Amino acid sequence: MILELKPEQQKILDRAAQSGMSPEEVLDQAFAVIQQQYANEDWMLADKESIAAKIETGFAQAERGELIDAKQAIEILRERRAKRRTA
């Protein structure tokens, strides 16, 4: 298969080649990103109602002044990440 690249795409390949990546590795990475985007989209569509409910809950909490500061938010995210790693 022969592809015509746009100049900006060729620049990306050239830059990747300078860093030691082959064109195939660049394409593999690009396809991995696209695949991850589709997976995220599928997840969001599957859980659309649940996500919308959580957003609504968050807005309601903010309107009531039930907010947390940045340090608390970071700690909550760290705890969630640690739980996912052990699961």
Task: Give 36-55 pLDDT, tens digit per residue.
Answer: 888 888 877 878 888 889 99
Q: How many domains does the chain have?
A: 1
Asked whether residue 22 is assigned to any structural domain, the reply reads: yes
Asked whether residue 72 is assigned to any structural domain, the reply reads: yes
Is residue 16 very low, low, confident or very high in pLDDT (cuts 50, 70, 90)? confident
Q: Furthest-apart CA pair in the chain: how many Å?
A: 59
Asked whether residue 38 is assigned to any structural domain, the reply reads: yes
Structural domain range at position 44: 9-86
Asked whether residue 2 is assigned to any structural domain, the reply reads: no
Asked whether residue 3 is assigned to any structural domain, the reply reads: no
Task: Report the alpha-carbon angle 79-35-4, nearest 5.
Answer: 140
pTM of the shown model: 0.43
Cβ partners under 8 Å of residue 12, min gap 6: 26
